[in-house]
Amino acid sequence: MITFDIKMLERRLSNLSYWDRVAFGVSIVERMMGSYNLFCEKNSLDPSVLQKNLAEIWNFISIKKEDIELSVYIEECDRAAPYPDMYEDDLVSAAMDCAVALASIFRYLEDGEIVYICEVATLSRDSIDMYIQMVERLDSHGSAMELAISQHRLMQCELRNQAEDISFLESLSNDIGNRFEIIYGKFHPQSSNLGL
């Protein structure tokens, strides 16, 4: 069974380049976007703001663009995050986590703090945790619930994906001319982290 170890994640991220950390965060958000898009579809909302901002981050990675005015992107992501008390939908928390995760990548671009990329990984895990509790109708107390969630196939799949994504980035040579195309091809698009 794979477990989430935030300290190990921080150590592994610290060994990646600035742009590879962004790519790792984007790989997670790509999986989260499926749930966000489905939430928007079910509630007649427009997902294009987050889709546009995600595409913009891919563009930044491809040209290694720096000196970007990021506050607009962060504000757009914050505005695109649905409030859970406004919707009676099983996906509202996952949709909110997706918007917050994308904003966290922009915050990382702003100041380079690894904590923001770790937050992206944690938000994906939290979305899966909440979703499992709802679909499995788990009692929200005790270690039995935590064990059931950590062993669930969706949680194990996401943790495995995160570990594989970091390993992929660690193993990819910086000298490859088409490095961006290889990363983009692997990470975009991906299926939903909730299996939807």
Residue type, 150: S
Q: Cα–Cα distance between 45 and 126 in angstroms, integer?
A: 23
Average pLDDT value for residue range 177-196:
87
The pLDDT, as a whole number, for residue 23 is 96
Q: What does the domain layout of the chain look like in residue ranges?
A: 6-168
Rounded Cα–Cα distance for residues 149 and 82 (Å)? 24
Instruction: Give the per-residue pLDDT at 145.
Output: 83
- The model's pTM: 0.94
Q: Please state, in angstroms and as integers, the Cα–Cα distance from residue 120 to each residue in 26, 86, 100, 191, following that order.
A: 9, 23, 8, 17
Quick: pLDDT tens for 97-128: 999 999 999 999 999 999 999 999 999 999 99
Say if CB 126 and CB 104 are below 8 A apart. Answer: no
List the one residue out of 3, 2, 33, 12 whose CA is nearest residue 118: 12
Reading the block at residue 127, the tokens are 């979305």
Q: How buried is 68 (Cβ within 10 angstroms: 0-12 exposed, 13-18 middle, 19+ buried)?
A: middle
Section 20-29 average pLDDT:
97
Write the DSSP assignment of 80-143 as a string of letters: HSPPGGG---TTHHHHHHHHHHHHHHHHHHHH--HHHHHHHHHHHHHHHHHHHHHHTT--SSSH
Confidence at residue 123, expressed as pLDDT on a 0 to 100 scale:
98
Share of the chain above pLDDT 70, in %: 99
Query: What's the mean pLDDT in 139-166?
Result: 89
For residue 19, how far is the Cα from the chain centroid?
15
Residue 175 half-sphere exposure toward CB, CA atoms < 13 A:
0
**Given a cut of 90, is residue 72 above it in pLDDT?**
yes
Of 2.40.160.10, 2.60.40.10, 3.30.420.240, 1.20.1590.10, the CATH number of 6-168 is 1.20.1590.10
